């Protein structure tokens, strides 16, 4: 999606915790365009992504249904990362 305003207004501050890391698949976090630019977009990781540590607010982790996440990862996409089907 393209994102938009959150229920808190246009953008809100990061909530970064040094003990929360992008250690593997299934981490749920806020997408942003830089510090304190959180809106309504979020993402799930498909594997470790240490380069995101300290840049995106982590607020959850998949605890059941990792197979569904694996199937989502197999969806073919175009050059703009949009699903082909």
Domain count across the chain: 1
Q: What is the pLDDT of residues 63-74, one digit of tens each?
A: 999 999 999 999
Low-confidence ranges of the chain (pLDDT < 50): none
| Domain encompassing residue 24 | 1-75
Give the separation between CA 81 and CA 37, rounded to whole angstroms.
22
42 forms beta bridges with 30
Q: Looking at the domain assignment, is residue 83 inside a domain?
A: no
Q: Does residue 84 form part of some domain?
A: no
Q: Is the pTM of this model over 0.85?
A: no
Can you give the CATH number for the domain in which 26 is found? 2.40.100.10
User: Does 13 reside within a domain?
Assistant: yes
**Residue 7 falls inside a structural domain:** yes
């Amino acid at each position: 999606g393209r994102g938009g305003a959150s229920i808190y207004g246009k953008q809100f501050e990061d909530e970064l915790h040094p003990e929360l890391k992008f250690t593997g698949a299934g981490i749920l976090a806020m997408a942003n365009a830089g510090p304190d630019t959180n809106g309504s977009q979020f993402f799930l990781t498909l594997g470790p992504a240490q380069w995101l540590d300290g840049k995106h607010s982590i607020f959850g982790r998949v605890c059941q249904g990792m197979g569904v996440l694996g199937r989502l990862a197999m969806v073919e996409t175009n050059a703009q990362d949009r699903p082909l089907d």
